Amino acid sequence: MSEDPETPESKNSVRKVVLASFVGTTIEWFDFFIYGTAAALVFGELFFPNENEFVGRMAAYGTFAIGFFARPLGGIVFGHYGDRIGRKAMLVTTLMMMGVATFLIGVLPTYSSIGIAAPILLILLRLVQGFGVGGEWGGAVLMAVEHGHEGKRGFYGSCVQMGVPVGLLLAASVFAVVTRMPEEAFLSWGWRIPFLLGIVLLAIGMFIRLQIMESPLFQEAQEKKGVAKLPIVEVFKKHPKNVLLAMGARFAENACFYIFSVFVLSYAVDHLGLERPTILTGVWIAAAIQIFAIPAFGILSDKIGRRPVYLAGAIFIAVFAFPFFWLIETKVTILIWLAIILGLVGHAAMYGPQAAFFSELFGTRVRYSGASIGYQLASPFAGGLAPLIATALLEWSGNGSWAVSTYLVVTAVITLVAIYFAAETYRSNLGEDEES
C-alpha cells in the first residue's frame, strides 16, 4: 500500500526516493547521450575511418543502435530479478554498469592506434551501456511510482523522467564546451572528457541510491503473495495486450526524441553546413525547457488522465514532422532553436505521463518485468534505429528531409493506434494485481 501523503515522514521518504531515482537516471542518461553525441560528431572519423563519409556515419550510428538492441535483454534480466529480489538492488547494479562502461570508452584507443580492435571494444562497451540502461528505467520509475500517493503518480513518475533532459542537458553542455576546442585537440583528446566525467557522477549517484528504502508495494506483495517464479512468463500470460500497447506507445515518443536531439546534429552540420555549437545550443535550450515541461504534463495526466495527454503529444509530432525540418533548413539560428524546442516539448507530452502509465498497466508481482519489457522491446526499433533510418532515408531521397518527416508521421500513427486501444489507468489501484 502506498504511503500516506499527509504524513511528514511519508512525504520525506517519497522525496528521497524520487530524488535518488532522478539523480541516478540523470547520470545513466548522461552516459547514454554523450555516446549518441559522440557518434554524431566524431566516432565515424575516429573508430570507423572510411573514404566515404556516409559509410563512416552509418557505422557510427550502427554502434549507437546496438546499445538499444541490448536494452530489451537488460529489461528482461533486471526485470526478472527486480520482481524477485527487489527494485533497489537492481538500481545500484545498473548504475554501476553504466558508469564503468562510460569511463572505459573515455580511455579507449582509436582505430589509428589499435586498428579493428578499437571499434570492436567500442561495440562491446556500448552493449554494456545498453544492457544497464535497459534495466535502469523500470526500477527507477517503479521506486518513485510505488512509493507515491495514487493521485500524484503521474507527477512522481515524471520527476524520474526529468533525468532524461537533465542528462541530455549535461551532455550537450559538456560537448558545447569541448567542441569549441581547436579541431585537432578535440579529435585527439577533447572528446574523451565527457566520458571520463562519468566516473565522478557515478560516485555521486551510488552514494545517493544506497540511502533509499525498498518499494513498499514490492515488500507487501512479497509478504502476502510471494514473488513470481518466472515474471516474464506471468507478464505474457496475464498482460500480453498491455505489453504490445506499451511498445506501440513508445514509437513516436522514442523516434522523435532521437531525431530531434541526435540526428539533427549530423543533418545540420554535414548536410546544411551549420556550426556544431549552434545546434548543440539549441538542444541545450530545448532540454532545459523539457525539465519543466515533463513534470507539467505528468501533473496534467494526474488531473485528466494519461491517454488524452499522450494522444495530444503524438498528434503534435505527426503535425510538426514536416515543419521541424523546414525550420532547420532556414539556417536561421532562432528558427533552428524554435524547431528543436517545439519538437522536444511535443515529446514531453508523451514522456511526462509515460512512467506512471506503463507502471499502471501491470500488477505488482510482475510490474518491473512488464514495464521494462514494454518500454525496452520497442526501443531498438523506435529509437535505436531512428538516426540510422533517417540517415539512410536522407541518402535515398537525395538529401530530401521529406523522407525523414514521413518516417516520423508513420511512428506517430503507430503510437496513436496503441494509445487509442489502451485503457485509462490514472485512477487504478497499484496494490491490486489485475488479470488484464
Q: How is 144-156 classified by DSSP, letter by letter? A: HHHHS-GGGHHHH
> Is residue 82 within 8 Å of 65, Cβ to Cβ?
no
**pLDDT-above-90 percentage for the chain:** 33
Q: How many other CB atoms sit within 10 Å of the CB of residue 332?
A: 11
Q: What is the pLDDT of residues 28-60, one digit of tens each?
A: 778 877 887 788 778 878 887 765 667 776 777
Residue 4 pLDDT class (50, 70, 90 cuts) = very low
DSSP 108: -
Distance of CA 87 to the CA centre of its chain: 19
Burial of 396 (0-12, 13-18, 19+ CB in 10 A): exposed
pLDDT at 369 over 70: yes
Q: What is the pLDDT of residues 168-227, one digit of tens each?
A: 888 878 888 888 888 888 888 899 999 998 888 888 888 877 777 776 676 676 666 666
Q: Which pLDDT does position 109 carry in this prediction?
A: 94
Amino acid (one-letter) located at 239: H
Average pLDDT over every residue of 422-431: 84
The more confidently predicted of residues 335 and 388 is: 335
CA contacts within 13 A on the Cβ side of 200: 6
Dig out the grid coordinates for 227 from the structure. Answer: 514473488
Give all strands (DSSP E) within 57-180, no chain letters: none
Residue 375 pLDDT class (50, 70, 90 cuts) = confident
pLDDT at 436 over 50: no
Q: Which pLDDT does position 435 carry in this prediction?
A: 43
Burial of 428 (0-12, 13-18, 19+ CB in 10 A): middle
Q: Which pLDDT does position 222 carry in this prediction?
A: 65
Residue 12 pLDDT class (50, 70, 90 cuts) = low
DSSP 434: -
Q: What is the pLDDT of residues 65-80, one digit of tens each?
A: 787 788 889 888 888 8
Average pLDDT over every residue of 243-259: 94
Average pLDDT over every residue of 297-311: 96
Walk me through the domains of the chain, giving residue ranges and CATH numbers: 8-421 (1.20.1250.20)
Burial of 115 (0-12, 13-18, 19+ CB in 10 A): exposed
pLDDT at 317 over 90: yes
Nearby residues of 400 by Cβ (< 8 Å), 6 or more positions away: 394
In our burial notation (b when 16+ CB lie closer than 10 A, e otherwise), range 166-203 reads bbbbbbbbbbbebbeeeeeebeeebbbbbbebbeebbe
pLDDT at 252 over 90: yes
CA 5 to CA 146: how far, in whole Å? 12
CA 324 to CA 338: how far, in whole Å? 9
CA 347 to CA 319: how far, in whole Å? 13
Q: Which pLDDT does position 223 carry in this prediction?
A: 67
Q: Which of 209, 245, 256, 254 is nearest to 360 (CA)?
A: 245
- Mean pLDDT, the chain, integer: 85
Residue 3 pLDDT class (50, 70, 90 cuts) = very low
Name the 3-class secondary structure at 422: coil
